[in-house]
Structure 1
Amino acid sequence: MIEFLLAIFGFLFIVLSTLSGKRREITKRFLRLVIIIAIISVGSVIFLIGMSMKQTYTDEFAIEVLSAKRFLSGLNPYGFQYALKSMESYGVPLSSLTPKLSGGYVTNLQYPDLSFLILIPFILLHVNPEVVLFFFTLLLLSLIALEFIERDLAFMAPLAIAVALFNINLIFFSLNGITDIIWITFLASSLMLLQKRYIPGILFGLSLASKQLPIFILPFLLIFIYKRYGSRKLLEFTLMAAGSFILLNLPFIMMGPTTFFNSILAPENAPIIGIGFGLSQFYISGYIPFADREFFTTLMISVWLFFVLIYAYKFDTLKYSLTALPIIVLIFNFRLLENYLMYWPILTLSTLPYIIRKGNTIEQRKDFSFQFIQKFYQAIHLNSNKIKKIYRIMVPVLMVLIILLPTFVFLENDSSYKQKIKIESVTPEGMNSTGSVNCLYVNVTYSSEIKNLSLRFRILEDGFLNNPNGFFWNSTEFKPASGKLYTSFHIHTNDTSYFLEEHNSYVIIAYNSNLETWYHIDIGKNINV
Structure 2
Amino acid sequence: MSAERSKSVIGSSIFQFLNDRSTLFIFYAAFFLLAAIVAWGFLGYTDLPAIVSIWILILLSAVYLIYAVALTKPIPLVEKLPFVSFALSLWLFILISKMFYPAAIHDEITIDSYAAYLFLHHIDPYVSANMINVFNFFHFPLYYATPLRAGGYVYYLIYPALSVYAFIPSVALGIPDYWIPLLFNVGTFLILVYYYRKRKFTATIPFIAVLVFVEAELVIGAVTGETDVIWVFFLALSYIFRKKPWMAGVFFGLSIAQKQIPVVIAPFLLYMIYIESGRDKRSFVTPVVAAATVFLALNAPFILMNPGAWFSSMLLSVGQPIIGVGFGFGILSFAGYAPVSSVIFSDLLVTSLAFLFVFYIRYYRSVKYAFFAFPIVIFLFNFRSLENYLIYWPLLTMLVLPDFIKDRESGDSENAKPETSKRRRPFLSGTSGLLKKTNFTVFIMLVIILAGGVSTGYVNHENSAYRSQLKINGITQFQDQIMVNSKITAMTVNLTYSPMDNSKSNIPVFFRIMPNGPLNSNINALLWSAKNPYVRQGNNSLTIYPDFYSDMLPANTSFILEAYYGNITAYYKAVSPVSPANPLQDPFLLYPTTDEKAPFPGWNLTKSGNDGNIVYSSSHLSLGLRDSNGTGQGWNSISISTPVNFTYLADNNYTLSYSASGTNGSYIGRTGTILRFSGILLTFNAGQEKFWYGYNASAINKKYSSFNRINASVVTSNTVLNFSTIREYLSTLGWGFSHAVLSYAVVSTTESGLNFSLSNISLSDNGKAIRPFQSEGGFVLQPYTANIYSSSPDLQAVQLVRPQEVVSW
- Shared fold, TM over 0.5: yes
**5 Å matches for 1:431-470?**
434-449=485-500, 450=503, 451-462=505-516, 467-470=522-525
> Does the Cα contact within 8 Å between 1:276 and 1:465 map onto a contact in 2?
no
Distance 2:288 2:534 in 1: 59
Distance 2:113 2:168 in 1: 8
TM-fit CA distance, 1:48: 3.2
> Does the Cα contact within 8 Å between 1:440 and 1:490 map onto a contact in 2?
yes
Distance 2:416 2:65 in 1: 36
Task: State which of 284, 305, 309 in structure 2 corresponds to 1:255.
Answer: 305
Q: Residue 443 of structure 1 aligns to a residue in which SS?
A: strand
Distance 1:17 1:260 in 2: 58
Distance 1:394 1:254 in 2: 49
Q: Are residues 1:400 and 2:439 paired?
A: no
Task: State which of 458, 472, 476 in structure 2 corresponds to 1:427.
Answer: 476
Q: % of aligned pairs identical?
A: 29
Distance 2:62 2:403 in 1: 24
TM-fit CA distance, 1:277: 1.1
TM-fit CA distance, 1:236: 2.1
Q: TM-score normalised to the size of structure 1?
A: 0.85
> Does the Cα contact within 8 Å between 1:297 and 1:333 map onto a contact in 2?
yes
Q: Deviations over 1:221-261 (max 9, x none)?
A: 11212222223322222222222112211222233333222
Distance 1:309 1:446 in 2: 46
Q: Deviations over 1:343-375 (max 9, x none)?
A: 111001111111111299x964999xx644785
Segment of structure 1 superposing worse, 136-145 or 413-422: 413-422
TM-fit CA distance, 1:150: 2.1
What RMSD in Å do the two structures reach over aligned CA positions? 3.7
Segment of structure 1 superposing worse, 280-289 or 461-470: 461-470
Q: Residue 405 of structure 1 aligns to a residue in which SS?
A: helix
> Does the Cα contact within 8 Å between 2:184 and 2:230 map onto a contact in 1?
yes
Segment of structure 1 superposing worse, 516-525 or 298-307: 516-525
TM-fit CA distance, 1:477: 5.7
Distance 2:456 2:33 in 1: 52
Q: Match of 1:300?
A: 349
User: Larger relative CO (CA 8 A, sep 6+): 1 or 2?
Assistant: 1
> Does the Cα contact within 8 Å between 1:477 and 1:488 map onto a contact in 2?
no
Distance 1:182 1:478 in 2: 40
> Does the Cα contact within 8 Å between 1:509 and 1:519 map onto a contact in 2?
yes
> Does the Cα contact within 8 Å between 2:150 and 2:321 map onto a contact in 1?
yes
TM-fit CA distance, 1:494: 7.5
TM-fit CA distance, 1:444: 1.4
> Does the Cα contact within 8 Å between 2:508 and 2:533 map onto a contact in 1?
no
**5 Å matches for 1:264-343?**
264-289=314-339, 291-343=340-392
Is the helix fraction higher in 1 or 2?
1
Larger Rg: 2
Q: Match of 1:512?
A: 565
Task: State which of 54, 68, 78 in structure 1 corresponds to 2:101.
Answer: 54
Amino acid corresponding to residue 205 of structure 1 in structure 2: G
TM-fit CA distance, 1:412: 1.7
Q: Are residues 1:349 and 2:380 paired?
A: no
Amino acid corresponding to residue 323 of structure 1 in structure 2: F
TM-fit CA distance, 1:10: 9.4
TM-fit CA distance, 1:80: 2.6
Amino acid corresponding to residue 445 of structure 1 in structure 2: T
Distance 1:214 1:109 in 2: 18
> Does the Cα contact within 8 Å between 1:424 and 1:445 map onto a contact in 2?
yes
Q: Unmatched 5+ residue regions in structure 2?
A: 1-31, 39-56, 583-809
Is the strand fraction higher in 1 or 2?
2
Distance 1:475 1:270 in 2: 24
Segment of structure 1 superposing worse, 347-356 or 386-395: 386-395
> Does the Cα contact within 8 Å between 2:526 and 2:553 map onto a contact in 1?
no
Q: Residue 517 of structure 1 aligns to a residue in which SS?
A: strand
CA spacing shift, 1:509–1:43, aligned 2, 3 Å: same
Q: Deviations over 1:399-451 (max 9, x none)?
A: 33321233123422443222111111122334677343222221212225352
Distance 2:63 2:198 in 1: 18
Q: Match of 1:70?
A: 118
Q: Match of 2:529?
A: 474
Q: Are residues 1:4 and 2:35 paired?
A: yes
Q: Residue 217 of structure 1 aligns to a residue in which SS?
A: helix
Q: Match of 1:411?
A: 456
Q: Deviations over 1:305-335 (max 9, x none)?
A: 1111111111112211100011100000011
> Does the Cα contact within 8 Å between 1:183 and 1:207 map onto a contact in 2?
yes
CA spacing shift, 1:71–1:32, aligned 2, 3 Å: farther
Distance 1:54 1:431 in 2: 30
Amino acid corresponding to residue 35 of structure 2 in structure 1: F
Amino acid corresponding to residue 335 of structure 2 in structure 1: S
TM-fit CA distance, 1:196: 3.2
Q: Residue 210 of structure 1 aligns to a residue in which SS?
A: coil
> Does the Cα contact within 8 Å between 1:56 and 1:90 map onto a contact in 2?
no
Q: TM-score normalised to the size of structure 2?
A: 0.57
> Does the Cα contact within 8 Å between 1:428 and 1:437 map onto a contact in 2?
no
CA spacing shift, 1:317–1:473, aligned 2, 3 Å: same
Distance 2:534 2:148 in 1: 25
Q: Deviations over 1:240-285 (max 9, x none)?
A: 2222112211222233333222212323211111111111111111
Distance 1:277 1:61 in 2: 22
Amino acid corresponding to residue 4 of structure 1 in structure 2: A
Give the number of aligned pairs.
Answer: 510
Distance 1:488 1:149 in 2: 67
Q: Residue 573 of structure 2 aligns to a residue in which SS?
A: strand
TM-fit CA distance, 1:92: 2.0
**5 Å matches for 1:216-255?**
216-229=264-277, 230-231=279-280, 232-255=282-305
CA spacing shift, 1:321–1:204, aligned 2, 3 Å: same
Q: Residue 286 of structure 1 aligns to a residue in which SS?
A: coil
Distance 1:404 1:254 in 2: 43
TM-fit CA distance, 1:177: 1.8
TM-fit CA distance, 1:2: 8.7
Q: Match of 1:489?
A: 542
